[in-house]
Structure 1
Amino acid sequence: MELIDDNTRKFILDHRNDDVRRLALAADKYSGVDVRMAVDQIQGWQTARRKLPSWAATDGIVYPPHLNMEQCSSETTATYKRMVAADDGNGPHGILVDLTGGFGVDFSFLSRAFRRAVYVERNESLCTIARHNFRMLGMDNAAVVNADSSDVAFIEGLPGIIEEQFHSADGKSSAEKGTEDTNDEVDSGVQNHIERLAKVPESATAKADNEVTVFLDPARRDSYGRKMVSIRDCEPDVLALLPALSRFTSTLILKLSPMLDWHEAVREINAVGCVVAVDKANMVPEDDANADGVGPTKDGKSLFTVSSVHIVAVRNECKELLIVAKNDRQKTLYGGCEHDCEPKMYCVDDGNVFSCSLKEAMEHSAVALATLPKGDGGDVTTYLYVPNSAVMKAGCFHVLASHYAVDGVGPNSHLFVSGRMIDGFPGRVFRIIAVSSMNKRELKRSLAGVKHANIATRNFPMSVEVLRKRLKVTDGGDVYIFATTVADGSHVLIITKKAT
């Protein structure tokens, strides 16, 4: 089936650098052209140049409406997911199953790390577009399945569907030839992080062809457009699918909204249990499961155990929460983990990666607090450290403070100070010029000559707008003011400039 006719395709190529609003207003001028389709495709390509350059460089890609393009993964985050799927824990896997295919951006990048890959999507139109785009991208290892992944019966039948999709007379499929990865430009900091993950014994990375990794990106809004705050409220309900998935899935990768409480998501995933005895020959459960298939295991272990949490930010804006969980029963079929298997937390912001044990990140320990000198600080140089958005979302401030030997400004400020310049801190670094109370005379002295300033508030009773009016400064300039509450409960302004 032709998705775009020849006239419209030529129009798209001729006008893809034009203003789409003007093209839409002049639609009557272009007879024989599906202008609405053309505008969607031109706008999609223009977005892809910024967000998905490898797709934009591929002729023939069909794009979804603009809103879908804005909401889909970027090349940066999709590439990071591919590397996590390939190298987190035990290394590359044999089969990828994406149960929430959507536009297929994540799938197209993830599939490069697998010998075979199955895209599942309940929207038939998206499946048609996906088949076309995967062919344009040269994804010979991919199969497209139009089905509803929220149907437990479908999940239970997935092993048979996978076999059917890739079966051939000689026992091999085109997937075994692999596909060439032509766009691996990732920030060096993230690349180094992935290389550290990949340093595992060769025996741990020799994976069986039948080992299955399942990727799920559940919808975070209900039918009324309201955002969901619990993994259980997302669609499909991942927790409800875990018993069926545990029968054949070795690794589960969940892409969730950074708005979700990752602590609660980890607890919920680890809490789901089921009595499942694995038949090693056929990868199916024996008949000793509980009647409902749900409940704690005989040995008290969960179906899946979270092995890593990744909070991914781009330019200091949190984009995704990734949770990777391992199935201990499936792991016994392919060989256990022979390197450090302690669950980890990774806070990723462009080239900066801060990691710690997941156990530490789940704890809520107090941070040692500093006493800030009032006034200009004299001859003592003090630096202010502001964690990036990924660390802020993780909330592991006690681990951060211990690792970098910094002290907190206040109990809930999430600002830190040190007398030394620290290389590689996951966030921004400023040099403190002065610390002022809210006393008018002191403010006047500390802000003498300051007409422009960038203002941020942390655990402070005024909004930025109200404080800016009170201080009578306009936005911008090279001065950065952090308004916060310090250890003794008083409100102060920390006046800084960027550290060089």
Structure 2
Amino acid sequence: MKSVGNKIQQYINANLNTDLHSLLLKKSPFPEVSMQELVQQIKGRKVAEKKFPFLNQDNVIFPPNLNLEQSSSQDTAEFKAQFFKGKKFLDLTCGFGIDAYFLSQNFEEITLIEQNTELLEVVKHNWEVLGRKANFINQKLEKFLEINSEKFDLIYLDPARRDNNNRKVFLLEDLSPNIIEIQKKLSEISDEILIKLSPLIDLQHLVSSLENISKIWIIAVKNEVKEVLIHIKKTNEQTEISCVNLQTSESQFNFTLNTEKNCKSEFSVPEKYIFIPNNSVLKSGAFNLVSEKFSLKKLHQNTHIYTSEKLIENFPGRIFEAEEINPKEIKKGEKFNIITKNYPLKPEEIKKKYKIKDGGQYYLIFSQSIQNKHILKAKLL
């Protein structure tokens, strides 16, 4: 779709809650627009309502599902945007333009590169609807870098994470573009480069493969790690890692890369309070640092659960008040939320063994300390 007329927009609005499968069986009321295109716009509005609400408005056009899935959420894009400002901003992998829209708000000149012609037309249309201006360039980024002579205050990239067979890839050298190959060229035209990577990227591989990493953000939303963001900037300082859990009240957990190597954990059987770090912290691998920084003891070297007789404020994760129970105290048909860490049975196996159901206000934590296996009945604080 190249535009949304009033009647088409009215039809989309009128069918936002209609079953899409039934709509696809009908004939489009508009000769110039297929029913598949109409349904795609309705789907886009539904996605936008939760993922990027700033686009949940009339006259905005949405691309195919894959582009919507691969786009950053408004929450993560707004988080990125708060750290950067300058005169000239370049996005080499524009896509649907969510990150570009927010990152570029504190810049005067905006250049967006996208090789997909139709997708770039969609972005251009939407930015006009939103009252934003940019230089839209329909070109492969390799070609742009080859002929470009400008310098920029910030370059942003979100490399494609699928190979030619549409399989997901995670190593830097398998991404498109290959960041390792083009880093020197990027550094010649900007002192600051921001790169969005898969949450599955190996941090040690990342640090050993790229130069001048100033900061790594591990960004989770409601405890689900969504992306790893790296900031490349020429600096003599150690790489800082920041663990963020958006849409929660949890504090950020920040440390320098080498800090973890100098920390050690103490160990204990479960005490009154149980602490489970959020997934951004777990992704960072700072297991001993968590123990040392918050004066907590770990249950086991391979159990990333911490314990204390004291309640610790500002912990970046969930805190439970817990007591150990005998398996015989678990009654058939009771409801519990199940957590397992370093325990031989999986949650589904536990529910089957003890004949319990999901839900309720209490948790059962199945874990292991350096002394024994434990079953804890816990309440989330």
Is TM > 0.5 for Structure 1 vs Structure 2? yes
1:215, 1:144 → 2: CA distance? Answer: 15
Deviation digits for residues 447-496 of structure 1, max 9, x if unmatched? Answer: 368822111211112211112222221221122112122113x3222221
The Cα of 1:390 is off from its aligned counterpart by: 0.8
- Once the two structures are TM-superposed, the CA of residue 3 in structure 1 deviates from its matched residue by 3.6
SS at match of 1:77: helix
- Match in the other structure for 1:491: 373
1:443 is aligned to 327
Alpha carbons 1:409, 1:417 under 8 Å: kept: yes
Deviations, residues 20-57 of structure 1 (Å, cap 9, x unaligned): 33322223666664322111111101211111111113
Contact 2:297–2:306 (Cα < 8 Å) also in 1? yes
Aligned to 1:333: none
Are 1:157 and 2:47 an aligned pair?
Answer: no
Equivalent residue in structure 1 for 2:250, among 326, 344, 352: 352
Aligned 1:55-70 pairs, distance under 5 A: 55-57=55-57, 59-70=58-69
Contact 1:218–1:235 (8 Å) recurs in 2: yes
- Superposition deviation, residue 412 in structure 1: 1.0
| Structure 1 residue matching 2:303: 3-state secondary structure | coil
Q: Alpha-carbon deviation of 1:15? A: 2.9
Match of 1:418 among 293, 308, 317: 308
**1:134 pairs with 127, 130, 134, which one?**
127
Partner Cα distance (2:13, 2:257) in 1 = 53
Deviation at 1:69, TM superposition (A): 1.8
Q: Relative to structure 1, is the Cα distance of residues 395 and 241 closer, same or farther in structure 2, using a 3 angstrom cutoff?
A: same
Contact kept, 8 Å, 2:274 with 2:322, in 1: the verdict is yes
Residue by residue over 1:134-170, the C-alpha shift from the partner in whole angstroms, topping out at 9 and shown as x without a partner, is 1111112x11111111x2x53143234xxxxxxxxxx
Tell me the CA shift for residue 128 of structure 1: 1.2
Matching residue of 1:262: 203
- Counterpart amino acid of residue 52 in structure 1: F
Retained in 2: the 8 A contact 1:246–1:327? no
Counting strand residues as a fraction of each chain, which structure ranks higher? Answer: 2
Q: Could you say what the CA RMSD is over the residues aligned between the two structures, in angstroms?
A: 2.3
Per the alignment, residue 218 of structure 1 pairs with: 159
Distance in 2 (alpha carbons) for counterparts of 1:388 and 1:480: 16
> Distance between the aligned counterparts of 1:212 and 1:269, measured in 2?
20
The answer on whether the counterparts of 2:274 and 2:306 sit within 8 Å (CA) in structure 1 is: yes
Amino acid aligned to 1:494 = L
Equivalent in 287, 298, 313 of residue 220 of structure 2? 313
Equivalent residue, structure 2, for 1:104: 97
Deviates more, 1:111-120 or 1:460-469: 460-469
Among residues 361, 365, 370, which one is paired with 2:268 in the alignment? 370
Q: 2:331 touches 2:356 (CA, 8 Å); kept in 1?
A: no
Aligned pair partner of 2:174 in 233, 237, 252: 233
Distance 2:368 2:186 in 1: 48
Cα deviation, 1:320-376, whole Å, max 9, x if unaligned, reads: 110111035xxxxxxxx9xxx553211111242333332245637442111337xxx
Could you state the TM-score of these two structures normalised by the residue count of structure 1? Answer: 0.71
1:33–1:236 distance in 2 versus 1, CA, 3 Å: closer
TM norm structure 2: 0.92
Alpha-carbon contact 1:344-1:355 (below 8 Å) kept: no
CA contact (8 A) 1:212 1:249 kept: yes
Q: How many residues align?
A: 379
Matches of 2:115 and 2:102, distance apart in 1:
20
Distance 1:97 1:28 in 2: 40
Q: What whole-Å deviation, never above 9, does each CA across 1:199-256 have from its counterpart, x for those lacking one? A: xxxxxxxxxxx64211110111212232223111111101100111111111111101
Cα 1:2–1:495 shift into 2, 3 Å: closer
Query: Displacement, 1:66?
Result: 2.8
Relative to structure 1, is the Cα distance of residues 450 and 25 closer, same or farther in structure 2, using a 3 angstrom cutoff?
Answer: closer
Give the secondary structure class of the aligned counterpart of 1:476.
strand
Aligned-pair identity in percent equals: 29
Matches of 2:209 and 2:339, distance apart in 1: 35
Contact 2:332 2:354 in 1 (8 A): no
Q: 312, 315, 324: which one pairs with 1:434? A: 324
Partner of 2:44: 44
Alpha-carbon distance between aligned partners in 1 of 2:244 and 2:45, rounded to the nearest angstrom? 28
Given that residues 260 and 288 in structure 2 are in contact (C-alpha distance below 8 angstroms), is that contact kept between their aligned partners in structure 1? no
1:70, distance to aligned residue in structure 2 (A) = 3.1
Indicate conservation of the 8 Å contact 1:408/1:416, yes or no. yes
Counterparts in 2 of 1:6-17, with a 5 A limit?
Answer: 7-17=7-17
Contact 1:360 1:396 survives alignment (8 Å) = no
Tell me what 2:230 maps to.
Answer: 323
- Does structure 2 conserve the Cα–Cα contact (< 8 Å) formed by 1:383 and 1:420? yes
Aligned to 2:118, the other structure's residue is in SS state: helix
- Residue 471 of structure 1 aligns with which residue? 354
Is 1:482 equivalent to 2:380 in the alignment? no
